[in-house]
Chain A
């Protein structure tokens, strides 16, 4: 199958969705949204079943409810555009093409929780998006000011640390501090930016929130599964012959369906959810659902064909983590270094293959004792790759 045929097949696939990238005129959206009561908006988002699109999948309405109920003089909405997960590049495209749907999402959230200030925390490497995005934000601020709204949005640039995608590290960075995750609780919905209730959302979540408010929860809820309602933007990379890798698809596909759609079939593993996600081997393709009931993903889907060395894949991920761990907590800072050194030592024969079992235990410990989500999930690729491709790590 040549790639244009494949593109056509994908376009026509029954799970293909076109909500986010649909070209549509939203001129009256703000008027319609501003007429709605915050309670109505919250109810609509609740009904839609929208969960956070960054990967963790926390119910969006619940986050809003907590922040709404928190008593404070100031509250904040933050759009997390620090898209740093390896293999994820959807937020870039969304901000480039559909910023006009992201900003209303922030407004909606602000109306519900009672915030007057929003921030877009833009990944440092996406600085080239800044001129266009700034213009867009300026226009938006102007427009809603004319409508008598007190909400405004400001863009802040990150400096390139992966960990700043973690919401509390992001907030620290936004406050001008070193980007290191905070202890949770307190969660940002009660004590976030400057100690005030703050909702941090992935870019994609905000777009879906806009769409749900604009077009009603049904358009979203009717898609996907009961645990994983709606659609999701996927970033496909690795061993696929596609030119572009961004596709909006219904949730709940199996990896088998997915691989058949996006590759020529010679795929031995898929890394779902980026470097901090899980590696699913071929034998599990058929019964692994992409979604919160199976393997969740923030969008990254990396395909590996039979020519790939899973040792190299894992080595690459671990190198990434030993550098991108913020370094403050012991399990993550030293654990990541140990996992990397460990597979090198087993490969070279310095350590016996049983040492992998010690390392799996260590990885399990990292998952339960690291301070933040990054540290807890840094062990995911290690655990799944060693479980399914142990021979490749050893020999």
Chain B
């Protein structure tokens, strides 16, 4: 038991554990103290000073978020001095801010706006010191508008502490202080993985996704275009949040209906290609294992998953020496694009030149991934437009459709069927679990030895998780694996990914297969998911993912009837010639920065 501390807040006694802050203590009493620079996922900064409170016998007003609770402390959260100081702080922030709220993308979902409303701040209390910053639109994923920045440094702490990337940093003192990048270069130039975790934690409109809503409407409105849409697994457990549903609601069926109503010509599912990824990636792993264990070849192992584009770009920048260890499988999004413009186009008799592939992703890095020059194996750009869960939310609101009262429907066939194994791609550990469900069965002819197919050891929210599976009773062609212990590891959040990648780079990794997701919690905590985010929200989305898995008829990727069909009709075999052309890719060493003379 840790030490307990009792203090008084607004004359009410409250007991907290040692190490708790005044803010924690106030929250325990359900006393609201406004915050701005504070975020539960990252370390305390104490910068914005919005959370100041009055402490007995102290002249200064300490910041509640940064002040440790102490025995006998007497705190007041609602005195004249406190209210005036908070109001002054908010007024100061507004004097530095681009107050063009009505035209701001974050209008209605902005913490500064909320504070200004609560504290009835007059915008012109102080002289405007707004500076003329250009908007950085260089990245296909993330847009940075310094005129809306409040210097809370949440993005900086996210980029450094959660993601270990530090693409965003503070530069300049005093009036020149701003959130900057290496040498103040544009975002496309620096080591940004496009993960969008900064966007998820930006309290204002300073960091947002680059939105492609108009492009998507444009495609839908163009009668000469055949527009197909795919949605990633994690979208269906979070979309509801922006449309008034409870956190953790599963809205799969309604989402399909609304996409049809929005005017997409075909509504497919990224889950289909998630199942396909498992077949391809599982066989790739088995091939690497057999080459190594049976043939004694020097094959790169462990194999890393490659579905997370934030992770891929991170590896390309920071760990170029391990690129051969990454699965060559494209992400499900890109497999989908390549197949939509070949397999589906052929079956449906549509000229792929007239086809627009839109994907709805929980992710901002997917926008960058779709724009990679190598992602054109169909002969066209495989995925034309990527929008986030949030952008889809905007489109649904704009359409005026009453989302919550929609009937449910199923995806169109050919690229729409999916299994529970695909759904769990949305949670950290999910790809690992899905791969095991298939690979184990390929090798042994039996289902994985876990109750109800739920491989609990790989689930959860620990940053790095390990598991091992003993392979017993192999089919004859896999006899060399008999008795082998398959060592697995899972990491989410790039700060955790680094640990596993470093082991591999240094040649001391004990694993065979490693799943990495760039975002905390996996895709369900992706940079394109509804804002806000925190552990509680991510846990609820995770529960929804696993219950969706359990609700489905098929729960192993190789049982997906449309996947079986595509191998029969089109791909012929896993890792075959067509797969190689359409479903696999290569990676590019990027270095820490591009060139200095740009």
A and B, one complex? Answer: yes
Q: Which of A163, A328, A331 has the most CB of B within 10 A?
A: A328
Contact B172 A327 (CB under 8 A): yes
Known: A328-B170, A330-B89. A369 touches B125 (CB 8 A): no
A32 at the interface (CB under 8 A from B): no
Contact B60 A376 (CB under 8 A): yes
B453 at the interface (CB under 8 A from A): no
In the complex, identify which listed stretch (A62-70, A146-154, A238-246, A334-342) lies at the interface while the others stay far away.
Answer: A334-342
List which A355-395 residues lie within 8 A (CB) of chain B: 358, 361-362, 365, 367-371, 376
11 additional A-B pairs beyond A334-B92, A345-B127, A365-B85, beta carbons within 8 Å, are A180-B170, A186-B68, A321-B174, A327-B173, A328-B45, A329-B46, A330-B47, A330-B92, A334-B129, A368-B52, A368-B85
B405 at the interface (CB under 8 A from A): no
Known: A183-B66, A330-B47, A371-B46. A324 touches B96 (CB 8 A): no
- Residues of A at the B interface (CB closer than 8 Å) are 161, 163, 178, 180, 183, 185-186, 321-331, 333-338, 341-342, 345, 351, 358, 361-362, 365, 367-371, 376
Q: Which of A323, A345, A351, A365 has the most CB of B within 10 A?
A: A365
Q: Which of A321, A358, A369 has the most CB of B within 10 A?
A: A369
List which B79-126 residues lie within 8 A (CB) of chain A: 81, 84-85, 88-89, 92-93, 95-96, 125-126
Contact B49 A333 (CB under 8 A): no
Q: Which residues of A contact B67 (CB under 8 A)?
A: 183, 185
Task: Give the CA-CA distance A287 to B75 in the complex, in Å.
Answer: 37
Contact A369 B60 (CB under 8 A): yes
Q: Which residues of A contact B84 (CB under 8 A)?
A: 361, 365
Task: Give the CA-CA distance A328 to B66 in the complex, in Å.
Answer: 14
Task: Give the CA-CA distance A141 to B92 in the complex, in Å.
Answer: 50
Chain B, residue nearest A338 (CB)? B126
List which B49-89 residues lie within 8 A (CB) of chain A: 49-50, 52, 59-61, 63, 66-68, 81, 84-85, 88-89
B176 at the interface (CB under 8 A from A): yes
Give 8 closest A-B pairs by Cβ, nearest first: A327-B177, A183-B66, A334-B92, A325-B174, A183-B46, A365-B88, A323-B174, A341-B127
Nearest-CB distance from B554 to chain A (Å)?
A: 52
Contact A326 B49 (CB under 8 A): no
Contact A336 B170 (CB under 8 A): no
Contact A324 B125 (CB under 8 A): no
Q: Could you write out 9 A-B pairs with CB less than 8 Å apart?
A: A322-B175, A324-B174, A328-B45, A333-B177, A337-B129, A338-B95, A369-B61, A371-B47, A371-B63
Q: Which of B49, B52, B89 has the most CB of A within 10 A?
A: B49
B48 at the interface (CB under 8 A from A): yes
Known: A327-B151, A368-B60. A334 touches B85 (CB 8 A): no
Task: Give the CA-CA distance A322 to B61 in the complex, in Å.
Answer: 22
B208 at the interface (CB under 8 A from A): no
Contact B63 A327 (CB under 8 A): no
Nearest-CB distance from B34 to chain A (Å)?
A: 13
Say which residue of A183, A324, A335 sits within 8 Å of B92 (CB atoms): A335
Contact B173 A185 (CB under 8 A): no
Say which residue of A163, A351, A371 sits within 8 Å of B49 (CB atoms): A371
Nearest-CB distance from B247 to chain A (Å)?
A: 31
Q: Which residues of B contact A376 (CB under 8 A)?
A: 60
Contact B173 A163 (CB under 8 A): yes
Q: Which residues of A contact B177 (CB under 8 A)?
A: 325-328, 333
Q: Which of B63, B92, B129, B173 has the most CB of A within 10 A?
A: B173
Q: Which residues of B contact A370 (CB under 8 A)?
A: 49
Task: Give the CA-CA distance A358 to B63 in the complex, in Å.
Answer: 23
Task: Give the CA-CA distance A373 to B170 in the complex, in Å.
Answer: 21
Task: Give the CA-CA distance A64 to B175 in the complex, in Å.
Answer: 37
Contact B49 A324 (CB under 8 A): no
Contact B173 A325 (CB under 8 A): yes
Contact A322 B126 (CB under 8 A): no
B231 at the interface (CB under 8 A from A): no
Contact A341 B129 (CB under 8 A): yes
Contact B68 A331 (CB under 8 A): no
Q: Which residues of B contact A334 (CB under 8 A)?
A: 92-93, 95-96, 126, 129
B271 at the interface (CB under 8 A from A): no
Task: Give the CA-CA distance A371 to B66 in the complex, in Å.
Answer: 10
Q: Which residues of A contact B45 (CB under 8 A)?
A: 328
Chain B binding surface SS class? loop
Contact B175 A329 (CB under 8 A): no
Chain A, residue nearest B93 (CB)? A330
Task: Give the CA-CA distance A159 to B272 in the complex, in Å.
Answer: 57
B153 at the interface (CB under 8 A from A): yes
B44 at the interface (CB under 8 A from A): yes
Q: Which residues of A contact B89 (CB under 8 A)?
A: 330-331, 365, 369
Contact B151 A328 (CB under 8 A): yes
Say which residue of A326, A335, A358, A371 sits within 8 Å of B173 (CB atoms): A326
Known: A325-B173, A337-B175, A362-B88. A369 touches B52 (CB 8 A): yes
Task: Give the CA-CA distance A259 to B60 in the complex, in Å.
Answer: 33
Q: Which residues of A contact B125 (CB under 8 A)?
A: 358
List which B281-307 residues lie within 8 A (CB) of chain A: none
Q: Which residues of A contact B96 (CB under 8 A)?
A: 334, 337
Q: Which residues of B contact A371 (CB under 8 A)?
A: 46-47, 49, 63
Chain B, residue nearest A160 (CB)? B173
Task: Give the CA-CA distance A230 to B170 in the complex, in Å.
Answer: 43
Q: Which residues of B contact A337 (CB under 8 A)?
A: 96, 129, 174-175
Contact A322 B88 (CB under 8 A): no
Chain B, residue nearest A370 (CB)? B49
Q: Which residues of B contact A178 (CB under 8 A)?
A: 170
Contact B173 A329 (CB under 8 A): no
Nearest-CB distance from B21 to chain A (Å)?
A: 10
Q: Which residues of B contact A365 (CB under 8 A)?
A: 84-85, 88-89
Q: Which residues of B contact A333 (CB under 8 A)?
A: 151, 174-175, 177
Task: Give the CA-CA distance A163 to B175 in the complex, in Å.
Answer: 14
Contact B173 A331 (CB under 8 A): no
Contact A331 B46 (CB under 8 A): no
Chain A, residue nearest B58 (CB)? A368
Q: Which residues of B contact A327 (CB under 8 A)?
A: 151, 170, 172-177
Q: Which residues of B contact A345 (CB under 8 A)?
A: 127
Contact B127 A338 (CB under 8 A): yes
Q: Which of B59, B96, B150, B175 has the most CB of A within 10 A?
A: B175
Chain A, residue nearest B65 (CB)? A183
Nearest-CB distance from B154 to chain A (Å)?
A: 12
Q: Which residues of A contact B92 (CB under 8 A)?
A: 330-331, 334-335, 338, 362
Say which residue of B52, B81, B173 sits within 8 Å of A161 (CB atoms): B173
Nearest-CB distance from A164 to chain B (Å)?
A: 10
Nearest-CB distance from B217 to chain A (Å)?
A: 39
Known: A185-B68, A341-B127, A365-B85. A336 touches B49 (CB 8 A): no
Task: Give the CA-CA distance A83 to B288 in the complex, in Å.
Answer: 62
Contact A328 B153 (CB under 8 A): yes
